[in-house]
Amino acid sequence: MSLRDLRGVATPGLETGYHEVAGAVAPATTDAWLVVEAGGGLSKGERFDVFGGISLGRSPDADVRLDDRYASGIHARVYGRGSSYFVEDMNSTNGTLLNSQELRGEADLQPGDSIRIGDTEFIFEVA
């Protein structure tokens, strides 16, 4: 099984990469995902494992590459610290919404939280 198999299913024409997210420390639970709700050139229901931290954006260097004109190169990141997961806007041009509220800095994630980048929406899930 490859790393790509563990991180999510690749969408034809879109590349997802893997690189360490600075400041990420694996939390106690590793069964956490971002699940695509809509947009970004991704398939609804597609899952991305957030263990070790992932970056989201239009850049080929993003772990989850978004086909979304409102997304910045590296728009946001999701990472674990201690026993929690967090989302952080990376000073994007158009901002990131967490549960329909503008995200400032980092915020703690809870199961069922919605992360929106432009027209792309993810739901945070924990097993």
Domain boundaries, the chain: 3-126
The full DSSP string for 76-126 is EEEEEETTEEEEEE-S-SS--EETTEE--SEEE--TT-EEEETTEEEEEEE
* pLDDT of the residue at 8: 46
If residue 5 lies in a helix (H) or strand (E), which one and from where to where?
helix 3-7
Q: How confident is the model at residue 104 (pLDDT cuts 50, 70, 90)?
A: confident
- Residues forming a β-bridge with 126: 32
Q: How confident is the model at residue 25 (pLDDT cuts 50, 70, 90)?
A: low
Measured CA to CA, the distance from residue 104 to residue 115 in angstroms comes to 13
Measured CA to CA, the distance from residue 119 to residue 68 in angstroms comes to 7
The backbone torsions φ and ψ at residue 5, rounded to the nearest 5 degrees and listed phi first, read -60, -35
The CATH number of the structural domain formed by 3-126 is 2.60.200.20
Q: Which residue has the tokens 């993003």?
A: 62
pTM over 0.85: no
3-class secondary structure, 54? strand
Measured CA to CA, the distance from residue 26 to residue 115 in angstroms comes to 20
27-78 pLDDT per residue, tens: 445 689 999 999 999 999 999 999 889 999 999 999 999 999 999 999 999 9
